[in-house]
Chain A
Amino acid sequence: MPSLSRPLSFVRRLTNVCFIGLSGLAALLVLAPLGAIFGYLVYKGIGSINVAFLTHTPRPVGEPGGGMANAIVGSMVLLGLGSMIGVPLGIGSGIYMAEFGGGRYVNFVRFTADVLNGVPSIVVGIAVYALVVLPQQHFSALSGGVALGIMMIPTIARTTEEMLLMVPNTIREAALGLGIPQWRATLQVTLRTASKGVITGAMLAFARVAGETAPLLFTAFGNQYWSLKPNQPIAALPIQIFAYAISPFDEWHRQAWAGALILIVLIVVAVAAVRVVTSRGSMANNA
C-alpha cells in the first residue's frame, strides 16, 4: 500500500500545473480578440448609425451625411441570387450523396466538395469573372450572385448529407414499406425529418457568404447609386466597407464602422438563431 500512495514528484506536479495554466491562458488569448473586435465595433458603429445611414445613398467626399441604403439592399439582392443558385444545387447534391451514396462516385464528389470549400474566394471571383463577366462584357449583379451561389454549394451539400445520414434507416424503410415511391419518401419523409439540420446548414452557408468581399470585387463591382438591375453593377455592403476603410476620410471611416456593425449583426443573428434551433433539436431528441 505505501508504494501506491507515494506523492507525485515535484517536477511532475509542476509541469502539470504549468501546462494546465498555459492551456487556460491560450483560451483567454483566443477569446480576447473576439471581445476586442466586438467591443470596438459596437462602440464605433452605434454612434454612426442613424436614419440617414439606413435610407440614403453615398454622398461625394466632403459632403456630410449619406448612407449605405443601396449597399444594404444590394447585398440582399446578391444573397438572394446566390441562394437561388446555391440552395437547390447544394441540397440536391446533399440528398444524392446521402441517399444514393456508398459508391466511388459519391466519395469523389464528397471529397471535391470539401476541397472546393477551401478554394480561396478570390479565385472564385476570377473564375466567375471569366465565366460570366467577360461574355457579358460588363460587371453585373448576376455575376456576383453566381459567385456567392457557387461558394454556398459545397457547404450546403455537406451539411445536408450529414443531416440526412443521421435520419434512422427505419424511417426510410417505413415510408417505402407503405408503398410510397422513392422520390416522395425521400422528399416528404427523410428530408422532412432532417429539415431542421438542413435549414441550419443553409443558414450557415448564407452567413458565411454574406460577408464575402473578394469574390464580389470584380463581379458585382459595387455601385455608388441605386441599382437593382441584375445585369448592372450593384452595391454590396462588404465592398462599401472595404472602399471606405482604406479611404483617407474620417467621415467615411465612421460609415465603414456603421456598415460593419450592421453586417456583423445580420451574421451573428443568423448564426445564433441557428444555434438556438439546433440545440433545441438535440434536446428534443434526447428527451
Chain B
Amino acid sequence: MSFHVPIPVAADAQEHSKPAAAPPAPRIELHSSKINKYLDLGFRYSLLLCSLSILAVMGLFFYELTSRSKLSIARFGFGFFVGSTWDPVAGDFGALPFVYGTLVSSLVALVLAVPLAVGVSVFVTELCPRMFRSVIAFTVELLAAIPSVIYGLWGIFVLVPLLHNVVQPWLAKTMGWTGLFGGPAYGIGMLAAGIILAIMIIPIIASITREVLVAVPQSQREAVLALGATRWEMVRMAVLRNARAGIMGGIILGLGRAIGETMAVTMLIGNRPEIAKSLFAPGYTMASVIANEFSEATDDLYLSALVEIGLVLLIVTVLVNACARLLVWSVTRGYSARNNA
C-alpha cells in the first residue's frame, strides 16, 4: 500500500512544479527495469555457463583419455591388465605390475592410516580438553596443506634412511616369517611408499570422520552415558556406531587419494615394474609410471598405453569418490531426517 502511493504523488509534483533533478528519476527507473530484465537473464545464463564448465571438464577428461588410448585398447584389449611385461622397445605393454603396485601401496597406507585417523578424530571430538581441540584440528589440516613433492623430499632424505637402518632390520627379525618383510632392504620400496601415503591420507580421513562424529546428535551420547556407560563405551556404542557409514566414506575418500597420488610415491617406491611379495621390494604404481615416462614416450602405441593407464585411474577414482560422497552425504544430511522419523 505505502509503496504504491508515493509514485503518483511524485509524478504529480513533477507536472506542476519545475524542479531541476526530479523529472528524469522515474523515467530511468522504467527504462532500466527493461534493461535489468535482460541483465538478469544474461547474469543467470552466464552463471549457468560457469557451472556447465564443471560438467564440460569432466566430459572432456573422459573423451580425451578414451580417444587417445584407442590404439592401446584395440591392440591389447583386456590382456592389458593381465600382462606383466612392460617393454617400450618391443612395443609390448602389460599394466599388471602397476595395478599391483597401486593396490598394495594403497592398502598398506589404509592399514596404517585408518586406526590413526579414526583415533585422532575420536580424541579431538570426544575426549581431549576443549582448549586443545582447535589446535590439534588445525595441525592435522596443515598436514593436508603440505605439497606431495615435499613429502617425497622428506621421504627420500629422512624416512628412507630411517627405514633402511632401523625399521626394516627390526621388521625382518621379528616378522620376517610372514614373508612380507624379507629380502634385501633398500629403504625405498613399497613400504616407504605406503608409509608416506598413510601420512598423506590421514588428514583426509580424519577431517571427514570429525565431520560425521560431530553430526552424531548429542542426545545419543547423553542417553548412553545415562545408562551408566564409561567414556569409551559411549564412544563405541553411541558415536562410532552412528557414524560408521560416514567414516567408511572418509576411508574410501582416502583410498581414492592414495590411488591417484603421484609425486611422493614416484620418489619413494623405487620405480621397478615387478611383482614381489615382500614389502621391502621396489615397485611401481600407475600414477608414477605416467609421471616418469609420459614426456619420453615417443611412439603412438607407447603414449596410448600410458593414456590408457590414466583412463583406468580416472574411472577408478571417479567411482571411488562417487561412492564415498554418497556415503558421507547419507550421514551428514540424513541424520536429522532419521532423528525426526
Contacts and interface: CB of A to CB of B under 8 A. Distances in A.
A217 interface: yes
A68 B240 CA distance: 49
A207 B145 CA distance: 7
A121 B139 contact: no
A245 B152 contact: yes
B222 interface: no
Interface stretch (A17-25, A55-63, A76-84, A165-173): A17-25
B311 to A, nearest CB: 8
Contacts of A12: 230, 233
Given A24-B127, A26-B116, A130-B65, A153 B317 contact: no
Contacts of B36: 181, 183-184
A190 interface: no
A264 B150 contact: yes
A126 B147 contact: no
B206 interface: yes
Interface in A114-139: 114-127, 129-131
B117 A183 contact: no
A89 B50 contact: yes
A15 B232 contact: yes
Nearest to B199: A33
A22 B64 CA distance: 48
B170 interface: no
Given A22-B119, A207-B145, A31 B51 contact: no
Interface in A1-55: 8, 12-13, 15-16, 18-20, 22-27, 29-31, 33-34, 36-37, 40-41, 44
Given A92-B47, A245-B153, A126 B54 contact: no
Given A41-B150, A120-B317, A115 B47 contact: no
A200 interface: no
B147 A238 contact: yes
Interface in B128-182: 128, 136, 138-143, 145-154, 156-158
A23 B116 CA distance: 8
B111 to A, nearest CB: 14
A145 B77 CA distance: 35
Contacts of A27: 119-120, 123-124, 128, 136
Contact of A126 (B116, B141, B143, B310): B310
A29 B124 CA distance: 14
A119 B64 CA distance: 15
B235 to A, nearest CB: 8
B267 A242 contact: yes
Contacts of A96: 44, 47-48, 50-51
B122 interface: yes
B75 interface: no
B58 interface: yes
Interface stretch (B20-28, B91-99, B290-298): B290-298
B148 A213 contact: yes
A162 interface: no
Given A123-B61, A123-B310, A241 B150 contact: yes
B173 to A, nearest CB: 22
Contact of B262 (A37, A95, A183, A214): A214
A260 B149 contact: yes
A154 B307 CA distance: 23
A213 B261 CA distance: 11
B318 interface: yes
A228 interface: no
A101 B51 CA distance: 11
Interface in A218-270: 218, 221, 238, 241-242, 245-246, 253, 256-257, 260, 263-264, 267-268
Interface residues of chain A: helix, strand, loop or mixed (majority): helix
Contacts of B57: 116, 150, 153
Nearest to A91: B50
Nearest to B112: A29
Band of interface residues on A: 35 or more
Interface in B255-302: 256-257, 259-263, 267, 287, 290-291, 294-295
A214 B287 contact: yes
Contacts of A16: 230-233
B223 interface: no
A92 B51 contact: yes
B151 to A, nearest CB: 7
A183 B39 contact: yes
Given A93-B54, A242-B152, A214 B263 contact: yes
B154 A93 contact: no
Contacts of B253: 118
B148 A119 contact: no
Given A34-B143, A217-B294, 17 more contacts: A13-B230, A26-B120, A27-B124, A41-B150, A95-B47, A108-B55, A115-B58, A116-B57, A123-B61, A127-B60, A183-B43, A207-B145, A238-B147, A241-B149, A245-B156, A246-B156, A267-B147
Closest 5 CB pairs of A and B: A211-B147, A120-B260, A26-B119, A92-B50, A118-B321
Interface of A: 8, 12-13, 15-16, 18-20, 22-27, 29-31, 33-34, 36-37, 40-41, 44, 88-93, 95-97, 99-100, 106, 108-109, 111-127, 129-131, 150, 153-154, 157, 181-184, 186, 207-208, 210-214, 217-218, 221, 238, 241-242, 245-246, 253, 256-257, 260, 263-264, 267-268, 271, 275
19 contacts: A16-B231, A37-B150, A40-B158, A92-B47, A100-B44, A100-B48, A111-B322, A120-B314, A123-B314, A125-B294, A127-B61, A127-B65, A150-B57, A153-B53, A181-B39, A214-B263, A217-B294, A241-B153, A267-B146
